[in-house]
Amino acid sequence: MAEFIPPLETLVEQFHRLPGVGRKTAERYALSLLKLSEEEAAQFADAILGAKRDIRDCRICHNISVDDVCPICASPDRDVRTLCVVQDARDVMAMERVRAFDGVYHVLGGLLNPRKQQAAEQIRIPELLARVAEGEVEEVILATNPTFEGDTTAIYIANQLSKFPDVRVTRLAYWITVGGDLVYADEVTLTRALQGRNKLN
């Protein structure tokens, strides 16, 4: 594969690192960026730096947050006895859109993937167990996607939680298409999936 001239090649390589972006797509993105004005390009660069600088993980649930503790964890109206475990911040948004859930979240930041050797420690399962060990949680809803990795992760977590016999462990009832993605589920489907959640333990 031929390379572009250095400053453009560097940009192509950066885009190529984004999830699911192949070489040709990265080239398309990089060339489109050259068509922006100086000011627009600066805005793009600032957006990257700004997001990285101003966004952190909520200390409690690890959802993205501007503050040390996110608005959901900080709210007195949320029921801390019900903990919904999701893959990432987009899933929190999907669940919040539904407005059918008044508990709190735990954001894993990934899923177990034996092929990629993604270990339990890398996806905040120890943090989840520590939260449950504090004793306030009565139910853990495993809302990872109904994919191979999502199911594997849910089963693994359910096993780990068996050391807390008083905690109910449930999984979303997948009216959501098997193999699908929480983020793409419509609101009626997601509400039903939440209402009809199944007990795993």
The residues of the shown chain that bind a second copy, judged by CB under 8 A, are 2, 4-8, 10-11, 13-14, 18-21, 24-25, 27-36, 38, 41-55, 64-66, 88-90, 93, 96-97, 109, 183-184
Q: Which residue lies nearer to a second copy by CB, 184 or 201? A: 184
Q: Which residue lies nearer to a second copy by CB, 43 or 159? A: 43
| 96 contacts 105 by C-beta, under 8 angstroms | no
Count CB atoms within 10 A of the CB of residue 92.
26
* Long-range CB contacts for residues 46-51, cutoff 8 Å, separation at least 24: none
Phi, psi of 140 (to 5 degrees): -115, 120
For 36, half-sphere exposure in the C-beta direction (CA atoms, 13 angstrom radius) is: 13
Q: Which residue lies nearer to a second copy by CB, 162 or 177? A: 177
Beta bridge partners of 56: 65
Q: Which residue lies nearer to a second copy by CB, 100 or 183? A: 183
Query: CB of residue 11 vs a second copy: minimum separation in angstroms?
Result: 4
Query: CB of residue 58 vs a second copy: minimum separation in angstroms?
Result: 11
Query: CB of residue 91 vs a second copy: minimum separation in angstroms?
Result: 11
